[in-house]
Amino acid sequence: MTQCDLNGRVKTSVETRSQGTIDAQISPNNQFMAIGSEDGKLRLYDLQGNLLREFQAHSGGIYAIAISPDGQQLATIGSDTVTQNRDDRMRVWNLAGQQLTESRFRGYSIS
């Protein structure tokens, strides 16, 4: 994963083992990168590319990730493996991978 500034200069480049990446976000404090994949796993890496944590966030792909301003919570939107459709669920997690809440929503924007 590579993060560039608006002039196209590379700010951060991280080699990850995530395959089928759908969404990636860097925390507001630049401490970690959250990567959501087709396999429903949410992976957290430091900006040197070291895997910090990995957990199953959804049974299907993760389509969107948002990180709280303090970097302590993450929100994900994903799909389920039965219908292969977005499942209208937003899940909020702490950094240990513990699900804090789940809610149904309408629409696809969580930012």
Q: Domain containing 50 — which CATH number?
A: 2.120.10.30
Structure tokens at 4: 């560039």
81, part of any domain: yes
Per-residue pLDDT tens digits for 58-107: 888 888 999 999 999 999 988 876 655 666 678 899 887 787 877 766 55
Among 23-37, 39-53, 69-83, the minimum mean pLDDT is found in 69-83
d(CA 59, CA 41): 8
d(CA 60, CA 33): 20
73, part of any domain: yes
Q: How many separate domains does the chain show?
A: 1
111, part of any domain: no
Residues composing the chain: 111
SS3 45: strand
- Greater confidence (57 vs 18) lies with 57
82, part of any domain: yes
% of the chain exceeding 70 in pLDDT: 77
Contact 29, 71 (CB under 8 A): yes
d(CA 72, CA 104): 22
